[in-house]
Chains A and B, each alone.
Chain A
Amino acid sequence: MKPKLDVNDLSREERAPLIHLDNRDLMPLPPPLESPEKDHNWTPLSPQVQEKYECILDDTCAVNVPRPKSREEEQELVRKFLAGLDKLFSVENNWTFLEPLVLTMEHCARCQTCSESCHIFEASGRNELYRPTFRSEVLRRLYFKYVKRGGWLSAWQHGDIKLNWPLIARLIELAYRCNLCRRCAQTCPIGADNGLVAHELRKLFSQEMGIAAKELHDAGSMLQLKVGSSTGMNAEVVKDNIAFIDEDMSEKTGIEVHTPWDVEGADVLLIHNAGEILAWPENPGAFAVIFTVAGVSWTMSSELAAYDSINYGLWYDDAQFARVAVKHAEAARKLKVKKIVLGECGHAHKALSVVADRILSGDLNIPRESALTFLWELIRQDRLKLDPSRNDFPVTLHDPCNVVRLMGVVEPQRQILRRIAPRFREMEPHGVNNYCCGGGSGFAIMSGNNFPDWRFHVSGRKKLQQILNAFADCLDPSIPKYLCAPCSNCKGQFRDLLAYYDLWDKHRILYGGLVELIVNAMVDVKPGFIEWEWR
Chain B
Amino acid sequence: MTAALYLLIYACALVFLAGCVARALSYARMPLHLRWELYPVPHEEPERVPHGGSYFEEPEWWAKPLHFNLLGELKVMIPEMLFLKALWEFNRPLWFRSFAFHFGLYLLIATAVLLAIAAMVCWLAPASAAVLAALHSLYKVTGLLGAVLALAGAAALLVRRVRDRTLRIYTAPGDLMNLAWFIAALGLLLAAHLTRTAPAPSTLELVRGLLSFDTGLELSTLQVAAVILSALLVAYIPWTHMSHFIGKYFTYHSVRWDDLPAAKARQLQRKIAQYLSYRPTWSAAHVMADGRRSWAEIAMLNPARQEVKK
Contact = CB atoms under 8 A, between A and B. Distances in A.
B87 A408 contact: no
A431 interface: yes
B269 interface: yes
A92 B30 CA distance: 11
B34 interface: yes
A323 interface: yes
Contact of A87 (B167, B171, B282, B305): B282
B272 interface: yes
A390 to B, nearest CB: 26
A358 B262 contact: yes
A350 to B, nearest CB: 9
Nearest to A86: B281
Contacts of B254: 99-100
A476 to B, nearest CB: 32
Chain B interface bracket (under 10, 10 to 19, 20 to 34, 35 or more): 35 or more
A354 B62 CA distance: 13
Nearest to A338: B60
Chain A interface bracket (under 10, 10 to 19, 20 to 34, 35 or more): 35 or more
Contacts of A209: 283-284
A411 B53 contact: yes
A114 B27 CA distance: 23
B120 interface: no
A110 B278 contact: no
Given A100-B36, A112-B167, A226 B304 contact: yes
Interface string A207-227: 111100000010000111110
B256 interface: yes
Contacts of B268: 358
Contacts, number: 271
B172 interface: yes
A65 interface: no
A190 B167 CA distance: 17
A103 interface: yes
Contact of A361 (B52, B276, B281, B286): B276
B170 A110 contact: yes
Given A225-B305, A319-B282, A354-B37, A108 B241 contact: yes
A374 interface: yes
A404 B91 contact: no
Contacts of A406: 37-39
Interface in A219-278: 222-226
Given A113-B91, A189-B87, A361-B273, A207 B172 contact: no
A188 interface: yes
Given A225-B304, A358-B34, A405 B39 contact: yes
Given A133-B170, A359-B299, A361-B276, A100 B251 contact: yes
A156 B172 contact: yes
Contact of B39 (A207, A317, A404): A404
Interface stretch (B4-12, B123-131, B220-228, B242-250): B242-250
Nearest to B36: A100
Contact of A6 (B27, B48, B169): B169
B55 to A, nearest CB: 8
A408 B56 contact: yes
A144 to B, nearest CB: 10
Interface in A64-110: 80, 83-84, 87, 91-93, 95-100, 102-104, 106-110
B59 A374 contact: yes
A432 B240 CA distance: 33
A374 B37 CA distance: 22
A217 B308 CA distance: 15
A192 interface: yes
Contacts of A367: 60, 62, 263
Q: Which 3 A-B pairs have the closest CB atoms?
A: A408-B54, A191-B251, A432-B52
